[in-house]
Amino acid sequence: MVKPRYKKKKRIKTYTNRKPLECCEFASLDRCLGVEVGPEFTHQGLQVQMAECTYETITVNTATYGGPKPVEDIEEEKAKMSAKIIADINRVIDELRSHKARILEDTKTTHRGKNL
């Protein structure tokens, strides 16, 4: 029997803690936050066991809404739009805080060896 040229280490299990974003413009595109580890494979060139490890994180983007308004309504529209912006920011912050808490808890669990 021929021994492999590499030392086999601990087997890596596939793993994911990805969760979908709720406050997402294009939710159908499966926008998520989290870490994912794929199945173990042998790198043919290096002859070592490897696993794909990726993370999906957020980026900040903006969208523009609105249109022409009568001049006499501008101040009211500015107030409405500002309130909408603040509500959107608060909604996203709340969601991101929950994702942060989930990922922190998952990291603690992983470092204790429960998810490895």
Q: What is the pLDDT of residues 23-70, one digit of tens each?
A: 887 777 888 899 999 888 889 999 888 989 999 998 888 888 989 999
pLDDT in tens, 67-115: 999 999 999 999 999 999 999 999 999 999 999 999 999 888 876 655 4
Instruction: Give pLDDT, residue 5.
Output: 56
How far CA 46 is from CA of 4, 6, 7, 11, 42, in Å, comes to: 12, 9, 12, 18, 8
Q: Around 103, how many Cα atoms within 13 Å sit in the side-chain half-sphere?
A: 17
pTM over 0.85: no
